[in-house]
Structure 1
Amino acid sequence: MRETPRKSGQCIVTRSGEVQLASRSSVRRYRATMNSESIARAGFLRVGAYAAVSVAALLGASAAAAWRLLTRGPGRTYPPYRLETSSGWKKYHGNPVFGRDLEPCFDVCVLREGALLRMWFSWWSRGAIGLTESPDGTHWSAPILVLPPNSATGWEDRVNRTVVVRRPDGFHMWYTGQTSGSSGIGHAVSEDGRIWTRTTAHPVLKADHPWEKASVMSPHVLWDASSELFRMWYSAGDQDEPDATGYATSRDGLRWTKLVSNPTFVGSGGDSWDRDKVTGCQVIPYNRQYLMFYIGFYNTRSAEIGMARSPDGVSGWRRYAGNPVITPSRDSRAWDYDAVYKPFALPTGNGWMLWYNVRRGDLEQIGLAIHRGRDLGIQGCPIRSPAVRVAATSE
């Protein structure tokens, strides 16, 4: 579903140059506070906006496309009436919380262990997985490298996009191994989350279906104690940014079977914010159902974060009506101007914390969004066990 903007009378342009939709009374109040130069500038931009929409209509393009061209330029896709966050989410005022002094870092996984938060992240310049720790989710320790690449295997010249699960037998990590033309998913184990041992020299999940093309990556894994299964949601398709989300299960974390009807979650099409690709998801049990945080792509360079729900985590996914919930900044000088990616959320005592990576140019850093209150506005429904067919895949 796509969020529907509130109907309004006119457009206004704020002091920061931001075009907004507002009621006629709001426009009157706004004009009263502006000097003559600002009024002239706002009028010029309004004329330009209406002209852009008119030209788009003559050319057969949508009004939304004209707004995108006017307010963002080529490749930008965020209409001016959309806030940077919605549905109670707020960006942390001290962002970015991690990566200021590092080369690009991205795609995190966060676990809470007692009073400590531990974040495994993709360390681009090292082609490796790093680890950092924090008492509060905002102040993070100097990172250490915990899983280096291994070019000798032929499929993991660099490693990234990881998920970590802790069980009584220790820590399990599923990670993405990449070459220049393909991606697969590997497995490693650890007693302390710092020193890792690969369990196999081969990927435990690889692309072997047409929709997966040459790449599977970005695993998210849950241990389902009731069925004694590891459950994996993964992204597959293009090597640069994968296309859609698939689902697989395993008894031991090494031998996986894929859903026959994969992909289980795809782009919404049309002119929606997530029309092109839906990837990099996190799935968690929530409010008697399964909640997915995911990256939605309008195109390869334009990404935002949304939510969806399913009764079994496999079928019947319904997008949240308030999507997207986190979008890039509309300030061209901001650190998070270009795109927001890969959410990872944890519940807190009185709300939620959600870490995500942000791109400005070629630099990626880690930001934080906070939600006050545990209720995310997602309607509950009874959890049911997935009754789906799976097909064996190669080890």
Structure 2
Amino acid sequence: MDRETYLKNVKPTSAGWIKYSGNPVMGGDLGTCFDISMMEQDGRYRMWFSWRPKKSLAYTESTDGIHWDAPVIVLSPRETSEGWEQDLNRPAVVLCEGVYHMWYTGQLPGKLPRAVDGRSWLFYATSIDGLNWQRASLKPVLSAEEPWEKVALMSPHVIWDDKERLFKMWYSGGEQYEPNAIGYATSRDGLHWDKYPANPIFTADPSHQWEQHKVAACQIYQKNDWFLMFYIGYFDEDTAQIGIARSRDGITGWERHPQNPIIAPSVGEWDGEACYKPFALFDGAMWRLWYNGRNGTLEQIGLATHEGEDLGFPEQ
């Protein structure tokens, strides 16, 4: 099946998800905004996002997840002989014991339009307020070293396991334009990481047409003894949708949602060609999921919602 035929036949939402009618909620005059990290604190949503025209990481707040304050840049590129922080993007922010921790992607961009010949690494910074960041290291804390990681590591998602006193990271590795699969690593201090020996832990399933090409850029949400993975599945290099999978340990035994993809492009709309990088929060009554959609070369951030806790996985 060719791309145009596929897009005409895929449903824009499934499994009870609904796209917000006023999408996108961020973008417009700001240009491309993409790949976010979120948390809810004191009745406000806090968002760190990738701001492509500035090649920087930016921050904004909202009371409803729809209307956002004017963004401010919180971390900018720096000059290095290696060129590995010319472009900053794809943050993951964790609040742990009064300190904000952020892992992000530093890139040596390749040649446009697809930038296939660049490289990407993961870096680490800390903050006491989530706004003023200090780099914890001037060198990458994770680099592409294994064959499956090829030339790029990007799109980290990190949680703090207080019981194990351990940072746990899910990251994407592979090609520079779009990574290929998802790996897992752990760290005691955020600087020194041990990669899981059986990486990658999550790869494309060719039997599911919507994700036959690649999987990448996940968010992990722990709920009711499950690790829920919200992730991107690629029909081809330019056609992306969002799905869910779950695992008991966050590493093995992943079970995909039977109605994947849950969010797909709406042909002719702002997200008409691809839906990328989900980030979901549950408030006790409703799931809210932000994602970046692409039409042409412009990516903007939109919102989808799901009433109730039950996401529709089979009972176990």
**TM-score scaled to structure 2, two decimals?**
0.94
2:69 aligns with one of 141, 144, 153 = 141
Match of 1:78, SS state, is: helix
User: Does the 8 Å CA contact 2:258/2:313 hold for their aligned counterparts?
Assistant: no
**Letter of the structure 2 residue corresponding to residue 161 of structure 1:** R
Q: Equivalent residue for 2:42?
A: 114
Tell me the alpha carbon deviations over residues 45-75 of structure 1, each in whole angstroms, 9 at most, x when there is no partner: xxxxxxxxxxxxxxxxxxxx1xx46xx26xx
**Would you say 1:328 and 2:265 are equivalent positions?**
yes
2:28 aligns with one of 93, 97, 100 = 100
1:232 aligns with one of 153, 165, 169 = 169
User: Does the 8 Å CA contact 1:305/1:325 hold for their aligned counterparts?
Assistant: yes
Q: In 2, distance between residues paired with 1:93 and 1:169?
A: 37
Q: In 2, distance between residues paired with 1:379 and 1:134?
A: 34
Deviation at 1:369, TM superposition (A): 0.1
Q: In 2, distance between residues paired with 1:377 and 1:142?
A: 36
Structure number with greater Rg is: 1
**Would you say 1:162 and 2:99 are equivalent positions?**
no
Q: In 2, distance between residues paired with 1:151 and 1:237?
A: 25
Q: In 2, distance between residues paired with 1:231 and 1:168?
A: 16
Match of 2:252, SS state, is: coil
1:213 aligns with one of 126, 132, 150 = 150
- Identify unmatched segments of 5+ residues in structure 1: 1-64, 382-395
How many residues are matched?
A: 307
**Would you say 1:272 and 2:200 are equivalent positions?**
no
**Would you say 1:152 and 2:87 are equivalent positions?**
no
Deviation at 1:103, TM superposition (A): 1.3
Deviation at 1:349, TM superposition (A): 3.1
Match of 1:122, SS state, is: strand
Q: Equivalent residue for 1:86?
A: 14
Q: Equivalent residue for 1:254?
A: 191
Match of 2:276, SS state, is: strand
- Identify unmatched segments of 5+ residues in structure 2: 110-117
Q: In 1, distance between residues paired with 2:314 and 2:173?
A: 29
Q: In 2, distance between residues paired with 1:246 and 1:151?
A: 29
Q: In 2, distance between residues paired with 1:326 and 1:131?
A: 25
**Letter of the structure 2 residue corresponding to residue 337 of structure 1:** G
User: Does the 8 Å CA contact 2:227/2:248 hold for their aligned counterparts?
Assistant: yes
Q: In 1, distance between residues paired with 2:143 and 2:314?
A: 35
Q: Which aligned pairs between 1:288-303 and structure 2 lie closer than 5 A?
A: 288-303=225-240
**Letter of the structure 1 residue corresponding to residue 62 of structure 2:** S
Deviation at 1:377, TM superposition (A): 1.5
**Letter of the structure 1 residue corresponding to residue 101 of structure 2:** H
- Percent identity (aligned): 50
User: Does the 8 Å CA contact 2:292/2:300 hold for their aligned counterparts?
Assistant: yes
Tell me the alpha carbon deviations over residues 12-57 of structure 1, each in whole angstroms, 9 at most, x when there is no partner: xxxxxxxxxxxxxxxxxxxxxxxxxxxxxxxxxxxxxxxxxxxxxx
User: Does the 8 Å CA contact 2:16/2:306 hold for their aligned counterparts?
Assistant: yes
Match of 2:24, SS state, is: coil
Tell me the alpha carbon deviations over residues 197-223 of structure 1, each in whole angstroms, 9 at most, x when there is no partner: 001000000001010001111000000
Q: In 2, distance between residues paired with 1:293 and 1:349?
A: 18
Q: Which aligned pairs between 1:1-395 and structure 2 lie closer than 5 A?
A: 65=1, 68=2, 72=4, 77-78=6-7, 80=9, 82-152=10-80, 154=82, 155-180=84-109, 181-270=118-207, 272-330=209-267, 332=268, 334-379=269-314
Q: Equivalent residue for 2:114?
A: none
Specify which structure has the bigger relative contact order, considering alpha-carbon pairs within 8 angstroms and separated by 6 or more residues: 2
Q: In 1, distance between residues paired with 2:314 and 2:195?
A: 28
Root mean square deviation of aligned Cα: 1.3
Q: In 2, distance between residues paired with 1:320 and 1:79?
A: 22
Match of 1:273, SS state, is: helix
More helix by share: 1
Q: In 2, distance between residues paired with 1:349 and 1:137?
A: 16
Q: Equivalent residue for 2:113?
A: none
Tell me the alpha carbon deviations over residues 282-312 of structure 1, each in whole angstroms, 9 at most, x when there is no partner: 0111222110000000111000000001010
Match of 2:132, SS state, is: coil
User: Does the 8 Å CA contact 1:106/1:364 hold for their aligned counterparts?
Assistant: yes
Match of 2:126, SS state, is: strand
Q: In 1, distance between residues paired with 2:131 and 2:167?
A: 22
Cα distance change of structure 1 residues 128 and 117 upon mapping to structure 2, 3 Å threshold = same
Q: In 2, distance between residues paired with 1:153 and 1:131?
A: 28
Q: In 2, distance between residues paired with 1:375 and 1:120?
A: 28
User: Does the 8 Å CA contact 1:111/1:118 hold for their aligned counterparts?
Assistant: yes
Cα distance change of structure 1 residues 222 and 153 upon mapping to structure 2, 3 Å threshold = farther
Q: In 1, distance between residues paired with 2:106 and 2:148?
A: 19
User: Does the 8 Å CA contact 1:288/1:380 hold for their aligned counterparts?
Assistant: no
